[in-house]
Amino acid sequence: MVVIKKGLSDYKILLASASPRRQELLSQLGLDLQIVTLPSEEESFPKNLYREEIAVYLAEKKAENYKNLQEKEILITADTIVWIDGKVLGKPENYSDAFQMLKLLSGKIHFVITGVCLKAIEKTVVFFAETKVKFADLSDEEIRFYIENYKPFDKAGAYGIQEWIGKVGIEYIEGSYYNVVGLPVQKLYRELMKF
């Protein structure tokens, strides 16, 4: 383990996420990680929440659902949403849903927002990161090719920026690239250092 801050070396870092992208990003920080599982639960939220409030609420809700937290452990939970035209896009339910999401994103600006919760026995810290993303106009053939070959059903907004569609379809981003991948690692690193 790379010990960047002496106090952090006293803690075991737990990541409650099945996302291979989040696991890889965190391991690249040099953290000694343990992956833990949460009880499966529908990612629902109160309808009065807006933009980042949704992502933060879902990240906190995941942390609350983990019941095995011990002394000297820090649990990391996160949730990423896509916000466009005043509405939230989560993970697509099927091919048709993914197609409709990508059709909506085509040629427009949207926002990728990740809520993160750091939880220990003695305290909880929540924060979020937001990245502005501009898609080029995508043809129906490009959308179908992407869905059929990359099956983005586990990704908010039905796309992964690190995949083919990101290379051919993203005109620009403002903010953290890694946030769009699924975890704002720079901000997370700074928050862990303060923790």
Could you give the residue numbers annotated as active site?
79
* Distance of alpha carbon 85 from alpha carbon 109, whole angstroms: 9
HEC assignment per residue over the chain = CCCCCHHHHHCEEEECCCCHHHHHHHHCCCCCEEECCCCCCCCCCCCCCCCHHHHHHHHHHHHHCCCCCCCCEEEEEEEEEEEECCEEECCCCCHHHHHHHHHHHCCCEEEEEEEEEEECCCCEEEEEEEEEEEECCCCHHHHHHHHHHHCCCCCHHHCCCCCHHHHHHEEEEECCHHHHHCCCHHHHHHHHHHC
- CA 169 to chain CA centroid, nearest Å: 20
User: Which residue from 122, 114, 28 is spatially nearest to 77, judged by alpha carbons?
Assistant: 114
**What six digits make up the tokens of 119?**
């939880």
